Amino acid sequence: MPAVAAEKWPSRWRDVDKVALTRLLASGLTPAEVGAHFGRSADAVRLLARRWQLDTRALRARSIGLAVRHPRIAREFLCVIDGAPPHYEAQDLLAGSGARCRWRCDRCGEEWTTSVANRTTRGSGCPACAARGAPARARSRPVASAPLAHAEPQLAREFVRNVSRPDRDALTTPSGSNDRIVWRCGRGHEWETAARQRARYRTQCPACLAGVWSSRLEHQVAELVQLATGFRVEVGVRRPRADRASVEHVDLLVVDAGCLVDLDPSRWHRTPSARARDLRKLERLAGERYVRIRPRRLGRLPGVGARPEQQVVLTSDSERDPWLWAAAVIRALETFCVVPSSTPPAPSDREEALTRADRRWRRLGSGVRERSLLSVFPAIAAQLVEVAGRPELTAADLAPSGDERAVWRCPDCLHTWEARVANRTVAGTGCPPCSYERGASRGALALPGASFADKHPELVQFFVCDETRPGRTLSELKPSSTDRCRWRCPHRGRPWVTTPHALHRRPRSGCRTCSASRSTRPSLPV
């Protein structure tokens, strides 16, 4: 606990005001240390600071931050890229922060991006100065990869901007770099990923692929199996299930052999829930020509009703080799039928097959979307006004559970609001005012045995109608309901308007006109 701060501690937690809390945090104390002095938790201190709009990290950085402990490095600070609020300056960052920032060398003027911790803890500096100052034999830098525009012309057409290096474009961004790039596909979807991800792994627009049920690996394996055996192979087969009113999705169908095949890469099938789902499917299809291809690191599923030949394990740990998966499929086919040819195809033929599969995969992702917001949720698609910031997109261009923010219009009250597509389709949200009204209507309904009719059965015969919510009866209204209801006066039979709440408080009251003679008239029947 700093001695300077200890001299100015408030005596009680209730005495801590905005000025005192600012002084304590600016002295370098953490919220946990401040809370421990007053017997409070760190969350309580953060909640109090949030109430006064105080930034605890920026306040701590005033005494132990980058500008205090490393003033030379702070002078080279330009701006925050990610990992911290973009308005932060050097005096707002802690010395060990992991925020990625933009720096300018005070010697050569070169700009680069790295984290604060890399500069303060690991001692990194200007890459250009380091390259000029180190001996040539000591720095054997690898040859830079080709630019994106040269490596993949398609990527250059989808390139929007380089987030990590704003000074780079598609002609200067290396295809093997980890620079974060903003891309825009042919349908107008924008997303962010590394240049290396797109150039090496050939990833595509996640919004376009949201309605595609097959993967690139499945198309590659299908082409290789067709090349090696001559059998026709279909990708992404759907079959009706016998146990429920839905369909069974299978990765591959070898048509000439009548064999169903599922591929289980570790990336998607290693979790316990995925293993349980795969096991249920294996036991469901145990009586058919069905095979699961499993990686070595996952091993076989502990199936009870399935036959041993219905699971084939890869012979190597290299799951990225499509031929390894295709060879496993061919071994599985040999247990069910006679394979015409068992000679592996030549490497050049494999490359041509993989090229055809890649072309087919790209056409599938960029073609007409099979599953869209319009085809899966037509009622919600009819409420779409426009996509926020992308007015050229329509409901046919949006994935059924996409992350795009859009403007919607309620068909009942014509209210417009903004929400994500997934919130409308997956979470089931709707028009906020209509939701509030439905919630109020549901809250006004009485529980069984607790309605106005249950509490006052003698007054049911005098009830006429509910004017606030027509159609409601006393069996649905609470005794505390404030709906305006029409009654017949139990004393003189005149029309009378009051609430169930007023009658619940005074069940023997009547209309105002008979209030003078109410005491002389007989009371309500018991």
Q: What is the pLDDT of residues 110-150, one digit of tens each?
A: 888 888 888 888 888 888 887 776 443 333 344 467 888 88
57 and 80 fall within a common domain: no
Cα separation, 114 vs 104, in Å, equals 11
72 and 51 fall within a common domain: no
189 and 121 fall within a common domain: no
361 and 224 fall within a common domain: yes
* Range of lowest pLDDT (318-327, 385-394, 469-478): 385-394
393 and 308 fall within a common domain: no
Would you say residue 138 lies in a domain? no
Q: How many domains does the chain have?
A: 6
Per the confidence metrics, is the pTM higher than 0.85?
A: no
Instruction: Check if the beta carbon of residue 370 is closer than 8 Å to that of residue 364.
Output: no
Question: Checking phi first, is residue 368 left (phi over 0); if not, alpha (psi -120 to 50) or beta?
Answer: beta
259-263 and 247-254 beta bridge pairing:
antiparallel
Burial 233-260 (b: 16+ CB within 10 A, else e): bebbbeeeeeeeeeebebbbbbeebebb
Task: Using alpha carbons, select from 228, 490, 219 the residue that is nearest to residue 363.
Answer: 219
Tell me which residue range forms the domain holding 428: 373-436
Mean pLDDT for the stretch of residues 312-330 = 89
Would you say residue 521 lies in a domain? no
Cα separation, 499 vs 505, in Å, equals 10
SS3 label, residue 160: strand
290-294 and 495-498 beta bridge pairing:
unpaired
Q: Token digits for 493?
A: 């039979």
183 and 270 fall within a common domain: no
323 and 335 fall within a common domain: yes
112 and 188 fall within a common domain: no
Q: Look at residue 329 in the predicted model and tell me its pLDDT.
A: 92
Q: Evaluate if residue 520 carries a pLDDT over 60.
A: no
What amino acid occupies position 290?
Y
Q: Which of 49, 64, 79 is the last residue of a domain?
A: 64
**Digit-coded pLDDT (tens) for 245-260:** 778 889 999 998 899 9
202 and 153 fall within a common domain: yes
453 and 430 fall within a common domain: no
Q: Evaluate if residue 526 carries a pLDDT over 50.
A: no
Would you say residue 143 lies in a domain? no
C-alpha angle 432-438-440 in degrees, rounded to nearest 5: 105
Which whole-number Å values give the CA distances from 23 to 28, 34, 92, 168, in the listed order? Answer: 9, 11, 15, 43
Q: Look at residue 144 in the predicted model and tell me its pLDDT.
A: 63
Q: Evaluate if residue 438 carries a pLDDT over 60.
A: yes
355 and 222 fall within a common domain: yes
Task: Please list the residues that pair with 485 across neighbouring strands.
Answer: 466, 498
**Digit-coded pLDDT (tens) for 348-389:** 888 899 888 888 877 776 555 667 888 889 999 999 999 887
Would you say residue 526 lies in a domain? no
C-alpha angle 337-341-347 in degrees, rounded to nearest 5: 130
462 and 323 fall within a common domain: no
Residue 65 phi, psi dihedral angles, 5° rounding = -90, -170
**What are the DSSP E strand ranges found in 131-184?**
159-162, 180-184
Instruction: Check if the beta carbon of residue 86 is closer than 8 Å to that of residue 101.
Output: no
Cα separation, 52 vs 462, in Å, equals 57
Q: Which of 366, 385, 404 is the last residue of a domain?
A: 366
Half-sphere exposure of 86 (CA within 13 A, CB side): 1
